Structure 1
Amino acid sequence: MKKIALILNISLALLFVACKQENKTESTAEKVVVKERHEPKKTSYHLESAKDWLSKNATDSTKFHIAYAVNRTDAANFKKMDSVVIPDDLTGDIEFYLPFPLTVSALKDINKIVFFSYPTQTFAAYEKGELVYTGPTNMGREKDKTPTGLFFTNWKAEETTSTFDDEWELRWNFNIENKLGVGWHQYTLPGYPASHSCLRLQEKDARKLYDFADQWELSNPETVKVKGTPVIVFGSYDFKAPKPWLELAKNPKALTISETEIENVTKPFLENILKEQKIRQDFQKVAN
């Protein structure tokens, strides 16, 4: 009997360990895997002529994408600029040169969310509170401001035509406000808010967000059954002031967005975001 009891105890112990291991595996699977980050040693910036900087760095194009992002522009428009702001150390990853926080604990229960900051002209995508992608944007100009608040991605198209001008071809378009026709897509970035309310992106960023976010699910052409990924557009832009990122030459933290700011921006919408997320999760369970 003692031998049987010993065997039973050992079996239960092994089962307990196995269950713990299984739970550990499930818990690990829920965590977002973040790539190893490379932080620059220097955080200072300086102003320089775009022409001079390009000529000095012509043989090292690996630095270019950071310079473009810091100046909220693209390759074609960077060449046209006079004074640009340049990091003194360009060896870090892009997230260390843009203002969004790397982690926001208040977002830990949100599977996916995208933010667009009007004052800093940048966007950020988070999974479970971890920053997974960020980049520059050029949003709505003064007379055609991008609406702010909570939106949900709906339909997308690899290529579509602008509703404002049928000669404008928009690549990697993802709509966030169907009636107003507002969405993000690839288009030229002059380095300031210049769109007709849409969220302009570099092509690589537009493609990344195109793949990142979810589309809506419709039960018929008029009824939304499941909403897409939450998108929060926040803040305002001073159109009469100099480009705010030029201030980085004086204060490297001039544009920093704190974790608390993101928490405060999200808080009014959190209940709605989690409700819609639950609807999507239940829909996916049935679909699978």
Structure 2
Amino acid sequence: MKNSVKIIALVFSCLFLSCNDKKEIKNNNKPIIERNEPKEVAYTFQKSNDWLQNEGTNSKALDIVLAINRVDETNLKKLDSILVPTDVSGDVAFYMPFPLEVVTLDEVKKVILFSYATQAFATYEYGILTYVGPTSMGKEKDKTPTGLFFTNWKAEETTSTFNDEWILKWNFNIENKLGVGFHEYELPGYPASHSCLRLLEKDAKMLYEFADQWVLQNEHEVKLKGTPVIVFGSYDFEGPKPWNALKERPEALSISEGELEKIISPYLQAILKEQAKKNNKN
């Protein structure tokens, strides 16, 4: 009987150590990111021309202001007033709506999230926020579809299916039949696309390299899907620009970890299933 107890204890001990080892390995995959946090996150409105004249040569500050106002540099100059942080010493992530970590994504190698309500996107690797930026999604008549997608094929330059005069750079398709993808194009500071997800050039290049293409079995079958992309939320097309509310409430657009968990949970098993297929292939 004593020997049986010892054996059982040994088995449980081995199982416990094995679980800890697995947890250790999983956590070792997490990227380590050094972040610069601003002393405060607060905002004011300033005249665009005045700010550009005084601060426009500060590339870090410019990146933050473009992200906050959801515009590219050309459209920033067209705006009368812009939202500006009182402290631009932090990384862009601290001025955008996504949490720095999402435990629900601990086992997910990489994923891209697009928030319709905040017109912002983020990448996570094993639950850690690794990149964030602004976007311009589908206008009211041509809304971007929401749900779980996977990156398909990509092209450094391609022609829009809506208008053959529109050249799309760093394009990555996520919905082949509908022709929806993310790519570099004009960001005017509101949802303006014909269902695609517009990005600043530097962000489009980053996602172009970050995401994986699909692997085809043949012309009609997908063998392995690409990187998961979750598009969620809705935009109030009749209301004011939502980021304008940041002046009074700096946390107005913040998406909590709990909110993201509810959004991600219905898709998590499908994401992990596709990830396992790729892991087995490797």
Give the structure-1-normalised TM-score.
0.88
Give per-residue Cα distances to partners, 1:259-286, cap 9 Å, x unaligned.
01110001111111111111111122xx
Aligned-residue identity in percent? 59
Q: Distance in 2 between matches of 1:234 and 1:275?
A: 21
What amino acid does structure 2 have at the position aligned with 1:35?
Answer: I
Q: Structure 1 residue runs of 4+, over 4 Å off?
A: none
Tell me the equivalent position of 2:64.
66
Matches within 5 A, 1:1-288: 27=25, 30-284=28-282
Q: Report the alpha carbon displacement of residue 238 of structure 1 after superposing the two structures with TM.
A: 0.3
Q: Secondary structure of the equivalent of 2:229?
A: strand
Q: Report the alpha carbon displacement of residue 27 of structure 1 after superposing the two structures with TM.
A: 2.6
The structure that has the greater radius of gyration is 1
Q: Distance in 1 between matches of 2:233 and 2:25?
A: 35
Q: Report the alpha carbon displacement of residue 28 of structure 1 after superposing the two structures with TM.
A: 7.8
Q: Distance in 2 between matches of 1:82 and 1:169?
A: 29
Q: Report the alpha carbon displacement of residue 54 of structure 1 after superposing the two structures with TM.
A: 1.0
Give per-residue Cα distances to partners, 1:159-182, cap 9 Å, x unaligned.
111111111111110000000000
What amino acid does structure 2 have at the position aligned with 1:141?
Answer: K
Q: Distance in 2 between matches of 1:238 and 1:89?
A: 29
Q: Distance in 2 between matches of 1:27 and 1:38?
A: 27
Give per-residue Cα distances to partners, 1:210-244, cap 9 Å, x unaligned.
11111111010110011111100000000010100
Q: Report the alpha carbon displacement of residue 56 of structure 1 after superposing the two structures with TM.
A: 1.8
Q: Secondary structure of the equivalent of 2:168?
A: strand
Q: Report the alpha carbon displacement of residue 58 of structure 1 after superposing the two structures with TM.
A: 4.0
Q: Which runs of 5+ in 1 are unaligned?
A: 1-19
Aligned CA distance change for structure 1 residues 180 and 256 (closer, same or farther; 3 Å): same
Q: Distance in 1 between matches of 2:27 and 2:39?
A: 33
CA root-mean-square deviation = 1.7
Are the counterparts in 2 of residues 114 and 230 from structure 1 also a CA contact under 8 Å?
yes
Give the structure-2-normalised TM-score.
0.90
Q: Distance in 2 between matches of 1:247 and 1:28?
A: 39
Q: Distance in 2 between matches of 1:188 and 1:137?
A: 10
Q: Distance in 2 between matches of 1:128 and 1:122?
A: 20
Are the counterparts in 1 of residues 31 and 125 from structure 2 also a CA contact under 8 Å?
no
Which segment is superposed worse, 132-141 or 28-37?
A: 28-37
